[in-house]
Homo-oligomer: A and B are copies of this chain.
């Protein structure tokens, strides 16, 4: 895939500011670990607050992390005066996720003036072993102010 050229040269500070306004991710202690045109990766520590009844990562929290990573990946390529909203997404859970932390990657597959299609991958990190636990296919929409 060719590298993406962001239309907004200040995309990084715009995306960081938007991310930092999210109470939900701050509550999970989420940290941005990669932020480039079309790409957004974040890490969160694993904790009991984000598990389902078996002690594994709740599928909805997997979706929250994947949607966040995909939404901000799309937002890197949107114009300065725009907002991003999720149109839809689909998640497949591949393995129950547990361990020390969760690494989530969002990647633009097809940018567009209105709609942007993204893929996400969520990994658990346990004893330095990385396991692919969930994948997302998502559509984001650009809203002009």
Which residues of A line the B interface, CB within 8 A?
18-19, 21-24, 27, 48-54, 58-61, 63-68, 71, 83, 85-96, 109-110, 114-115, 117, 119, 132, 135, 137, 139, 141
Contact = CB atoms under 8 A, between A and B. Distances in A.
B93 A87 contact: yes
A52 B75 CA distance: 14
Number of copies of this kind of chain in the complex: 4
A66 B60 CA distance: 8
A43 B50 CA distance: 19
Interface of A is mostly: mixed
Given A23-B48, A88-B92, 9 more contacts: A23-B51, A24-B51, A24-B58, A59-B71, A61-B64, A88-B90, A89-B91, A117-B135, A137-B137
